[in-house]
Amino acid sequence: MTSRFFLLAILPAALLAQDPALTPLAAPYPQITQYFALSTAQVGKIQSLNSGFQLYLGIKYARVNQIQSELTIETAKTALDPMALGIRYEELELICREAKSTQAELVKNIQAVLTPAQHPKWQALQDAFKLMPVIQEAQQANLLPGGASPVAALTSGVVSTLVGGSANLPGCRSNPVSLLGILSAVPLENGPKTAAQ
């Protein structure tokens, strides 16, 4: 009887430990929290700002998907309606511009979370960020470890937001996903492509 009770008591804990969805979440942004010595309030504010931006993006992506469906319908018609197509393409461009503007405001708001004492570290991070194309090329030349893979850890999440990187924004036709593409030419299958293209 005691062994059954022991198994019944320990079984849920063992199952909980095996299911990542049920385990407690790790603290967000551990690397920048340590690097900047961010307070809990600062991490919470950064997380809140990014969450709000993600909700905003979700709404914009939903509209972009709807517009793309409308464009598919319009382009499938025998007689094309330039006005119907033009209005939809214009809306995509307006969504893209609004998303870029909103992201630029987000970057400013997140940078404002930093204290004056943390700004020199932000500048050092910004300077390191500018070296990313050099690092990528050094990896491609096998001068640094990593082969042809870019430094992906620095190109995502809040680090890219802190240093003013761009993400794949809704409605933007050729907005690079990688921040490396913003700073330098990104080699693709069809040759180099710059962020301006």
Position 166 pLDDT exceeds 80: no
For residues 152 and 110, what is the distance between their CA atoms, to the nearest angstrom? 21
Residue 54 falls inside a structural domain: yes
pLDDT of residue 171: 74
Residue 3 falls inside a structural domain: no
Which domain range does residue 93 map to? 26-193
Burial of 29 (0-12, 13-18, 19+ CB in 10 A): buried
Q: Higher confidence at residue 81 or residue 180? A: 81
Question: Average per-residue pLDDT in the chain?
Answer: 76
Residue 116 falls inside a structural domain: yes
Rounded mean pLDDT of 115-134? Answer: 94
Q: Which of 38, 24, 4 is nearest to 125 (CA)?
A: 38
Q: How many domains does the chain have?
A: 1
Residue 172 falls inside a structural domain: yes
pLDDT of residue 26: 72
Rounded mean pLDDT of 5-21? Answer: 49
For residues 70 and 87, what is the distance between their CA atoms, to the nearest angstrom? 11
pLDDT of residue 27: 79
Q: Over the stretch 135-163, which tens digit does the pLDDT of each residue have?
A: 999 989 999 888 654 444 444 444 444 44
Q: Which of 44, 33, 28, 182 is nearest to 104 (CA)?
A: 182
Residue 9 falls inside a structural domain: no
Position 103 pLDDT exceeds 70: yes
Residue type at position 140: Q
Residue 15 falls inside a structural domain: no
Q: Over the stretch 28-69, which tens digit does the pLDDT of each residue have?
A: 899 999 999 999 999 999 999 999 999 999 999 999 999 999
Residue 18 falls inside a structural domain: no
Residue 177 falls inside a structural domain: yes
